[in-house]
Amino acid sequence: MGILVPAVLTWLRDLSSQARRVRTLDELSKLVAFWDNWTKMVSSTAVLTEHSHLFDECSLQALAQDARRELLRAGQKARLIYRPKVNQAFDKYKVTFKQFQAYRSKLPWYRRALLLYAAPNPSAAWFKSTFHFLLVLQIVEIVGLEYFDPLGTLLGPPPPPTAWVVEFGHAHHLIAFLMYLAFWIFLVGCALGLNAWVRRIAIKYENDPQFYLWAEHPKTGTVYRQG
């Protein structure tokens, strides 16, 4: 019994998430160390071209590519352990800044105006969704006021205007009309201004390379993930 209890506790401890992470990282460290030493050894033992064997050199190049892929997988697994949400974003937003700009420039004007396309990064996606939500909400409100009045049904008819407002309207028709028109222009302007502001922020995130999860190296053109 004295031997069984410690063995069970050790087994349970090894099943914990932290223990699994430690074992995975230990395996990844050994894998990276092996391929790192292997690539260094291959580079240090390179022979002259006239003395090399063609088949052997091709095999070494193929193994070098395999080593790079194994290192890539090891890095992805390590990132998945500590930053799982970032990896989910990498899987969803795969375009680079230049790829998205080229894609968006070919779209019809109405799709660009209404942001009717997939977002290239999480920040742009959030504000694009907000823009569409506000737009749909305003359309529903306009249609609702045209065909039915849900607020009037729930809250009852609005209270009648006070006597002085009625008297002012009868005495000054033009001023009352202009005030009424200015009120509706203000409401419409606020709605359009809010939409334009949210759309502008979404476009800002689409046009700023630092908000992309993928980027091209400015000199080599190599695509890499931003950390």
pLDDT, tens digit, 9 for 90 and up, residues 23-40:
888 888 888 888 888 888
* 52 & 117 share domain: no
Are the C-beta atoms of 101 and 214 separated by less than 8 Å? no
State the pTM of this model. 0.54
pLDDT value of residue 209: 85
How many angstroms separate the Cα of 182 from the Cα of each of 6, 27, 188, 214? 81, 70, 10, 48
* 209 & 123 share domain: yes
Owning domain of residue 13: 4-82
Q: How many domains is the chain partitioned into structurally?
A: 2
* 78 & 113 share domain: no
Q: For helices 84-92 and 54-82, what crossing angle results, to 10°?
A: 120
89 or 124, higher pLDDT: 124
CA distance 36 to 41: 9
- Nearest Cα neighbor of 129 from 24, 46, 202 is 202
Is 225 among the domain residues?
Answer: no
